[in-house]
Structure 1
Amino acid sequence: MYADRYSNRRGLDPAGVTLSLAMCGVIGFGLTLATPNITRHIETILIGEPIHLTPDPPPIDPPKPQPETETLKPVPTQPRDSIDMTKPIVTPAPGAETGTLVDLPPTNTLTAGTGTEIGTVIPLHTPILLGPTLDPRYRDYFQPAYPSDMRLGEHEGRVVVRVLIGTDGRVKDVQQISAASPSFFEATRKQALAKWRFKPGTKDGVAIEAWHTMAVRFVLDEE
């Protein structure tokens, strides 16, 4: 009984075989149409999105060789004439002919003349100055009177004054340089203005006012 039931199922059913083949054909045709999309999907899953590479830029041409330029050679220059600084420099005088050199006049001189002739060299004049001197005719009137307070105190001393002497030889002003006491200076000032006489100072022989320094001693023995 069991043998008959299993034996019937092992046999091939023609209708079932035909249906199976038909389904396999449909599935195969569908796979054929879907193969590119499936393949692309599988590649995307396995390796990711496709990378679009940009094309390489065109090669750059090597620079062209530049033509060689000529090197400018330095132009030799003529050396200038050297100037001898040890020799005096001369310039042409007014009215002199071209090419004639005339020495410059020495310093401290003046040149007088016209524009057509070389002038005469005139040296600068240095004035002659002479200071005043005491007139010997009034020598006895030089010593002042001894101040009474200095005599009673038995004081001695010296006075140095600066006097302005006019063109007439008289003293016009007296200035103290040093004095042992005011009394000595006052006695000297009064004597100078009243009695002192000088030969005035001169400039090229002409009388002028000039300052002169004088010293006076007050000594008790001379009274």
Structure 2
Amino acid sequence: MYADRNAKGTRFNPAGLTAAIAINAAFVAALMFSVPTLIAPPHTDDPLTTYTVPPVKPPPPEKIEKPVTQVNRPTEHITTPIPTVPTNPTTDFTATTDPSPPVGPTIGADPGVTVIDPPLPPPPMTFIEPAVDARYARDFQPIYPAAERRAEREGRVSIRVLIGIDGRVKEAKRLAATSDAFWQVTLDRALSKWRFKPATRGGIPVEAWRTMSLTFVLEG
């Protein structure tokens, strides 16, 4: 390298250095005073707890006691003397019961007249008429009279019979008949073959009358 010969030497200026330092110091001081101071809050480990504050109820109204008026009444005591009844300690009492008390209501000491209802009449006796005994129903038809058959005449008989308690015919009466022949065969059959269930009155067999009608018809 070759030095610049024409270059001039630099001189040290103490006054300029002092002024520069003073300006820097003033600038630093201004910065320090302009920055706010931060104070850290005290450190705590407790968590933040929140709760609801209940509304404050108004106090109940004061009870106003009414003045009680006390009335003092005099108390009256009445003492009744108990009469002394002389008793005999050796007296024996025997209670008896009347085995036949009076019937009917009594008023006072006098029972008065006892009214007894008359006995009820017995129930009516049910009467059941005699009926044909089904076991002997085939024997009720008399034999057709031969004379009337040859004459080709038909007939009808109405007979009234008295039936005994054994169911047999005890008596017979002629009410109507076409001819004597028809009546005679009917009477004979009634007295010999007819059987009935006897009539009953209150469940007891009794004699009774019954009317029977028979018709004689030619067949073919």
TM range (shorter): 0.3 to 0.5
Larger-gyration structure (1/2)? 2
Q: Whose relative contact order is higher, 1 or 2, with alpha carbons under 8 Å and at least 6 apart?
A: 2
TM-score, normalized by length of structure 1?
A: 0.47
Looking at secondary structure, tell me which structure has more helix per residue.
1
TM-score, normalized by length of structure 2?
A: 0.48
